[in-house]
C-alpha cells in the first residue's frame, strides 16, 4: 500500500538521485504533485531552466526590435506610462504589447507606442 508519506519519501529519493542531472543540464527539478492510489502512484516532477540566459536573450532581442522600429522601452499613452514587453511583427495592426504600471497588458499600434 502506498500512502502520502511513502510517496513523498519516494519523491525525495528520486530528487536526490537526479542531482547530477540538474548539474549536467543546468536545470532545476522539483516535485509537482501526482496521484496516489491504493497500490500505485503517479509522481510528477517539474523541470525548469536554471540559467538566466533565456531572459537575457529575450531582452537582447526586444532591445534590437525596439531599435529597429524606432521605439523606446517606455512610452506615455493617455496620461499613463507603459513598458514595451514584446513586439510581434506578424500582428500588422497592433504589433506592440505593453504593460501598464499595475500589470495590465495592452496592444498598441506603432504610432501610439512612439
Residue 82 pairs with which residues in a beta bridge? 75, 100
Percent of the chain with pLDDT strictly greater than 90? 62
The pLDDT confidence band at residue 65, using thresholds 50, 70 and 90, is confident
- Report the DSSP pairing between strands 27-36 and 105-108: unpaired
Element (H, E) at 68: helix 53-69
Do residues 42 and 14 touch, judged by C-beta distance below 8 A?
no
CA nearest neighbour of 24 among 47, 44, 2, 57: 47
The pLDDT score that the predictor gives to residue 57 is 62
Q: What share of the chain is helix, strand, coil (3-state, %, to 5)?
A: 35, 35, 30
Which residues does residue 49 pair with via DSSP β-bridges, in sequence order?
A: 27
Report residue 33's pLDDT band, with 50, 70 and 90 as the boundaries: confident
Amino acid at each position: 500500500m502506498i500512502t502520502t508519506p511513502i510517496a513523498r519519501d519516494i519523491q525525495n529519493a528520486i530528487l536526490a538521485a537526479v542531482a547530477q542531472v540538474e548539474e549536467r543540464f543546468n536545470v532545476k527539478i522539483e516535485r509537482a504533485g501526482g496521484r496516489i492510489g491504493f497500490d500505485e502512484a503517479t509522481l510528477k516532477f517539474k523541470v525548469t531552466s536554471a540559467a538566466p540566459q533565456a531572459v537575457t536573450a529575450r531582452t537582447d532581442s526586444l532591445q534590437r526590435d525596439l531599435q529597429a522600429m524606432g521605439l523606446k522601452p517606455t512610452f506615455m499613452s493617455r496620461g499613463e506610462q507603459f513598458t514595451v514587453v514584446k513586439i510581434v511583427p506578424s500582428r500588422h495592426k497592433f504589433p506592440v504589447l505593453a504593460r501598464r504600471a499595475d500589470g495590465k497588458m495592452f496592444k498598441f499600434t506603432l504610432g501610439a507606442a512612439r
